[in-house]
Amino acid sequence: MAGWIGSVKQWARAIKRDVIALWIAARDPKTPIAAKLVAGAVAAYALSPIDLIPDFIQVLGYLDDLLIVPLGILLAIRMVPPDLMTDFRQRGTLQQNRPSSRAGLVAVVLIWLAVSALAGWAAYRHFYAA
């Protein structure tokens, strides 16, 4: 049991380091444009103070934390050239404070507003415009 917990902690530290490395990669001029876009989107979402699917929604709330974010990280890492990713990981390990993403926060809020507006419009059409 203790070995399992230790490996989960190690995996979590690696994920945290890789998110910071992707945040660095998204801002580095040597990173290819497509990799920059994916790395920036993944890092912005992972570092956002709010989730697209709130954790209080059972099962789905944790789905993004346990599945979507790690898969996005894997995709972004594969798109960044390996030699650059090694450098970004080293720089991410040295970074003491965790960056935060206002862009991720804004994106999540805008998505929620768009979904709310669409739901309101659909409800209006269903109940009043029929």
pLDDT in tens, 88-105: 999 888 875 666 667 777
Show the CA angle centred on residue 41, arms to residues 16 and 61, nearest 5°: 65
- Of 15-24, 53-62, 78-87, 112-121, the one with minimum mean pLDDT is 53-62
Give 75's pLDDT tier (boundaries 50, 70, 90).
very high
Reported as a pLDDT band with limits 50, 70 and 90, residue 21 is very high
Domains of the chain: total? 1
Please report which confidence band the pLDDT of residue 5 belongs to, taking 50, 70 and 90 as the band edges: confident
Domain that holds residue 97: 2-127
109-122 burial, b at 16+ Cβ within 10 Å, e below that, comes to eeeeeeeeeeeeee
Percent of the chain with pLDDT over 70: 92
Q: Left if phi > 0, otherwise alpha if psi is -120 to 50, otherwise beta: which for 59? A: left
- The pLDDT of residue 54 is 73
